């Protein structure tokens, strides 16, 4: 298996698909998943000539289950280690949910020297938690409830999320069992502490300054029936904070666009990468 080693000794697993000389694309996954969550898009983009990199965030999947570093600054630094090790330039960074926070913080901390474009898919920026200066956010009780579920029985929490709001199965009723089982399985491959601490990372990190500093073409894709990162909390506001950002709204779609809207998302990504 392919890994890079960070400064603190963490092994970050990654996949590298497609032609070595293809247009580079990096896919960053959501909580509590891993790079397998991007398989449909990775295969599609690689088959269409892109070089596709997809990694497991520290504490998730096949990467080291670290005790420390389960926050956005370290996630972004791990991403920098991966991009530097592979010497990727002109890369399109694509982040789903928590992964959208990771790539946004990467640009905020490390700049856009290696980056050609940015895509935020159902992403957590600009700031999910409701505070005095962020009244549009969600109340902390929402995230405390997720933390309580993570501590009580994370297996049941992941099952409840998969059967309910993550895919929108509670409203659609048409999400195949196998897709929901994959979420549960990937979730259980994460470290318990890592997944628990990542809840604060994706909810309580303020990305507003990071978004305002983005200086590369940016595409924001969000479903208007997202029950995890509501459109009004996430994509709608992010698109306004990034100068010149393009916004695509998937009418009636929920949070898990890489699965529920896989063909449309794959095509939209390829169109933007080639533009």
User: Could you report the per-residue pLDDT of 28-60, keeping only the tens digit for each?
Assistant: 999 999 999 999 999 999 999 999 999 999 999
Averaged pLDDT of the chain: 98
222 is an active site residue? no
Dihedral pair phi/psi, residue 212, rounded to 5°: -65, -25
Q: Take residue 68 and report the two structure tokens written for it.
A: 């420390």
**Residue in 255, 259, 266, 268 annotated catalytic:** 255
CA distance 90 to 116: 5
**Residue in 77, 78, 226, 268 annotated catalytic:** 226
CATH of 3-274, one of 3.40.50.2300, 3.90.1170.50, 3.10.20.440, 3.40.50.1820: 3.40.50.1820
3 is an active site residue? no
Band of residue 172 on the pLDDT scale cut at 50, 70, 90: confident
255 is an active site residue? yes
pLDDT reading at 1 higher than 80: no
Q: Within 10 A of 132 (CB to CB), how many other CB atoms are there? A: 5
**Residue in 28, 35, 63, 97 annotated catalytic:** 97
């Amino acid at each position: 298996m392919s890994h890079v080693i960070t400064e603190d000794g963490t092994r970050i697993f990654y996949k590298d698909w497609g032609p070595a000389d293809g247009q580079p694309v990096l896919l960053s996954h959501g909580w509590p998943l891993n790079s397998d969550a991007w398989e449909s898009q990775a295969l599609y983009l690689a088959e269409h000539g892109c070089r596709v990199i997809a990694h497991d965030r520290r504490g998730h999947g096949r990467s080291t289950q670290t005790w420390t570093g389960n926050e956005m600054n370290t996630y972004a630094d791990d991403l920098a280690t991966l991009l530097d090790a592979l010497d990727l330039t002109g890369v399109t960074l694509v982040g789903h949910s928590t992964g959208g926070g990771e790539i946004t913080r990467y640009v905020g901390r490390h700049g856009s020297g290696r980056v050609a474009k940015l895509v935020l898919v159902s992403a957590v920026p600009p700031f999910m938690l409701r505070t005095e200066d962020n009244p549009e956010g969600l109340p902390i009780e929402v995230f405390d409830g997720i933390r309580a579920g993570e501590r009580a029985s994370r297996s049941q929490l992941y099952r409840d999320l998969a059967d309910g709001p993550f895919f929108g199965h509670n409203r659609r009723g048409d999400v195949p069992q196998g897709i929901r089982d994959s979420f549960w399985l990937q979730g259980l491959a994460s470290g318990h502490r890592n997944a628990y601490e990542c809840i604060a990372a994706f909810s309580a990190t303020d990305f507003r300054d990071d978004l305002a500093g983005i200086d590369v073409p940016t595409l924001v894709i969000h479903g208007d029936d997202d029950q995890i990162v509501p459109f009004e909390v996430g994509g709608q506001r992010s698109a306004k904070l990034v100068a010149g950002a393009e916004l695509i709204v998937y009418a009636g779609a929920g949070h898990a666009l890489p699965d529920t809207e896989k063909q449309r998302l794959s095509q939209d990504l390829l169109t933007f990468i080639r533009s």
